[in-house]
Amino acid sequence: MTPEELVAVACPKISVLGWAFYFVPETVARGEELGLDGVSFYALGRGGVLGDVESAVVASAFGYFNPALVATMWDAARQVVPPRQAGRAYMECCADFGRAHIGGIAGLDAFCRAAGAVNDAADPVGLALYAGIAAEPLVDDLAGRAMQLISVLREFRGSAHLIALRASGLDAKTAHHIHRPGDAALFGWSEDDAPTITAEDRGRWAVAEQLTDRIVLPAYAVLDEAGRRALVAGLEAVERALAAA
């Protein structure tokens, strides 16, 4: 398996698995303990690693959301809970989700070594949300750590993707309507916001995807063949475990 093949296989899985804990009942309940509903806990928990910043900073790091929606969620939530506190609570929820659902998976030690090596090799320059979450401490137990690493690596590619979009000449709103047109309302976009998508836009999207892979590739390339296989095997095992839950 080449590093390019590893990125092509692993990153789509990480993209899906990394947010699996966001809106499960246990995470929502933890937010409610803090005085936040599920959506507010998502915004403050995910963005809280950036600190007590203005909503425009969070919107720039989230990318696909309508900045007005981010402002509504963020500004109200940070009046209830300090952002860094919410960010750490969100990371705890991630670990708890791993403990509850993937603790019985064999090979988590090898997976954590491989995912940890990628995380350690990742260059955070220009990747604000990734830099924030990567600076948070990881738990020591394998199940919790594995889930946290998956979520952290999701932010790695997500942050790189935003750079690639801008470098390719696409704004985040247009990119969202290319990639996830059915979720526009969920991300705060109205029908009037919908841009006209051209063939040129779709071409730029394809270029951005290729560039994103190029940005993250050096971090994944640090793994040897055994590490690459351990990473993919671990992700496949997590997929199976969550599908069976």
Write down the pLDDT at residue 187: 82
Torsion sign, CA atoms 112, 43, 22, 167: negative
Q: How confident is the model over 78-116, as pLDDT tens digits?
A: 999 999 999 999 999 999 999 999 998 999 999 999 999
CA pair distance 133, 12, nearest whole angstrom: 19
Spatial separation of the C-alpha atoms in residues 245 and 239, rounded to whole Å: 10
How far apart CA 206 and CA 215 sit, in angstroms, is 14
**pLDDT digits 0-9 by tens, 4-17:** 999 999 999 999 99
- Which segments of 78-141 does DSSP mark as H helices, in order? 83-101, 108-121, 128-134
d(CA 196, CA 198): 6
CB distance 41 to 30 below 8 Å: yes
Angle between helices 38-47 and 25-33 (to 10 degrees): 80
pLDDT tier for residue 31 given thresholds of 50, 70 and 90? very high
Q: Looking at residues 195-206, what average pLDDT do you find? A: 92
What is the rounded average pLDDT of the residues 188-197?
84
Can you give the pLDDT at residue 26?
A: 97
Dihedral angle over CA of 73, 76, 80, 83, nearest 10: 50
Q: What pLDDT does 82 receive?
A: 97
pLDDT exceeds cutoff 90 at 30 = yes
Confidence of residue 186 (pLDDT cuts 50, 70, 90): confident
Burial label for 113, CB within 10 Å (0-12, 13-18, 19+), is middle
pLDDT(19) > 90 = yes
Q: What is the mean pLDDT of residues 120-148?
A: 97
Lowest-confidence segment of 62-76, 129-143, 184-198 by average pLDDT: 184-198
Please give the helix or strand (H or E) that residue 29 lies within, else none.
Answer: helix 25-33
**pLDDT number for residue 177:** 87
Give the least confident one: 43-47, 92-96, 120-124, 167-171. 167-171
* Global confidence as pTM: 0.95
